[in-house]
């Protein structure tokens, strides 16, 4: 198996594990009040304190009252991240003025390279509602743990490296509570309708 195929396998495995974890949490939430509360998993998401692409502090408190999408990735990502950010941008554009009442977060899993400046330059290609968040390794590890995101540095030839990472888009409600993984495999209209329900 070539390195590319191996990496693809790791990414799809990570995605699957992430999805299973999400479903597991849904089952736990669904099981509330049926005597399984002792086993309740910690909620997905939670508080965070990061830096946005303008170098300003940004935390979960800045999202109060807005449903939002969260996606983890890195600016050097060859395909999954740009594709997903393009799709999220389409959704934001379609929302029109309502996009101001939502948020879309692109949280870095590559603190070494993703400085606020690098994030700003990268995000210039996408809808301005997409906010890039970064921070030091510890801060990013904390937020990734909160969202059950897997990521791992993978060395490439020379000094180069890439990152494997969970590629789930999370839908969070106005109160910052996890709703579900946001299905990107549908038309922009349907996705927008889904997001609108949470405004």
List of residues contacting Cu ion (CB under 5 A): 73, 77, 80-81
**Cβ 87 to Cu ion shortest distance, Å:** 13
- Alpha-carbon distance of 180 to 185, in angstroms, equals 14
* Shortest Cβ 74–Cu ion spacing (Å): 6
Q: How far is the CB of 23 from Cu ion (least distance, A)?
A: 22
Min dist CB 8 to Cu ion, Å, is 12
Q: Which is nearer to Cu ion, 87 or 173 (CB)?
A: 87
Of the pair 80, 139, the CB lying nearest Cu ion is at: 80
Diameter of the chain measured on Cα atoms: 55
Determine the straight-line distance between the first and last CA of the chain, rounded to whole angstroms: 46
- Cα separation of 73 and 171, whole Å? 16
10 or 80, CB closer to Cu ion? Answer: 80
Buried b (16+ CB within 10 A) or exposed e, 73-108: bbbebeebbeebbebbbbbbebbeeebeebbbbbbb
Closest residue to Cu ion: CB criterion: 77
**Cβ-based nearer residue to Cu ion, 95 or 147:** 147
Asked if 81 and 46 touch (Cβ cutoff 8 Å), the reply is no
3-state secondary structure of 180: strand
Q: How far is the CB of 162 from Cu ion (least distance, A)?
A: 9
C-alpha to C-alpha distance for 44 and 124, rounded to whole angstroms = 29
Instruction: Please identify, using beta-carbon distances, which residue of 44 and 167 lies nearer to Cu ion.
Output: 167
């Amino acid at each position: 198996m070539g390195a590319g195929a191996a990496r693809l396998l790791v990414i799809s495995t990570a995605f699957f594990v992430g999805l299973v974890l999400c479903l597991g949490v849904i089952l736990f939430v669904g099981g509330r009040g049926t005597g399984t509360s002792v086993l309740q998993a910690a909620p997905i998401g939670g508080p965070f304190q990061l830096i946005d692409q303008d170098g300003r502090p940004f935390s979960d408190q800045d999202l109060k009252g807005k449903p939002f999408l969260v996606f983890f990735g890195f600016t050097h990502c060859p395909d999954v991240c740009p594709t997903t950010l393009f799709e999220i941008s389409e959704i934001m554009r379609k929302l029109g003025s309502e996009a101001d009442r939502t948020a879309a977060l692109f949280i870095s899993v590559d603190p070494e390279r993703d400085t606020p400046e690098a994030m700003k330059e990268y995000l210039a290609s996408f809808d301005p509602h997409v906010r890039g968040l970064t921070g030091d390794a510890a801060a990013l590890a904390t937020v990734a743990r909160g969202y059950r995101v897997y990521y791992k540095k993978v060395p490439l030839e020379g000094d180069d490296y890439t990152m494997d990472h969970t590629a789930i888009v999370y839908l969070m409600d106005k109160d910052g509570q996890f709703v579900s993984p946001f299905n990107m495999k549908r038309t922009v209209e349907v996705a927008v309708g889904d997001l609108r329900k949470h405004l």
